[in-house]
Amino acid sequence: MSPARPPEAAPTGRIARIIAGRRVWLCDLDGTLVDSAPVHEAAFRAAIAEIAPSLLGSFRYDVHVGATTREVVAGLGADADVAERLVRHKQRLYREYVKAGRVPVFPGARRLLDRLNTDGRAAYLVTGGSRGSVERILADCSLAGYFSGVLTGDDVPSGKPDPRFYRHACDSWSVDPDDAVAVEDSAHGVASAVGAGLVTLQVNAVEPAAGAVQVRHLDEIVSFLDVGVSGSE
């Protein structure tokens, strides 16, 4: 599924000035670098249909985008045993779908990560996905080698939109928020990054999230870096 076109982005020169000189990039994974939302939804629906079919009629994945699997399942209101079975089964199905090649990398993702590495900027992955699912995605999509560090939903007590998620990332890697840029897609992710004091670029979004700079696609971010190098608009 191709990403929807977001609202009109800020002028190129303005964004180039905002990100100029920032050496650390904190990137979300799902919906930002890889087009995984349809596969996450399919895994949730398959797991719910098998384990708790009475809950399927009220399930809407679109309201949960950016949340962890456990947070989504908690919102279903199932008892603890059923909830744990749902989490495990959904994660297992998702990893099977990833292995089957059902999650594509967004256009521009590798170009952006290549550019950050070439420029000597550090790229870190900050994702609410489980460690096992994230490792599967990185391996099967050949993205693992781009990141100086990976923070997953298994590593932090609270997930996005809690600002503590990004604060934990900054603390873990001794990152100064004034030297960093976050790249996110969901309102949950933007809220966490902006709440942690980070300049945040939002891509692949239909509705703008408060505090974020709107970007149409990942290749456009590379063009902003080009402007920063040339010093022109």
Q: How far from each other are the two terminal CA atoms of the chain, in whole angstroms?
A: 32
Determine which one of 28, 35, 140, 185 is catalytic.
28
> Rounded to 5 degrees, what angle do the CA atoms 12, 16, 19 make?
140
Cα–Cα distance between 225 and 46 in angstroms, integer? 41
HSE toward the beta carbon, residue 227, CA cutoff 13 A: 18
Tokens 């521009």 identify what position? 108
Instruction: Give the three-state DSSP class for 3.
Output: coil
DSSP state string for 134-177: HHHHHHHTT-GGG-SEEE-GGGSSS-TTSTHHHHHHHHHTT--G
155 is catalytic: no
Instruction: Give the three-state DSSP class for 184.
Output: strand
The residues annotated with a catalytic role in the active site are 28
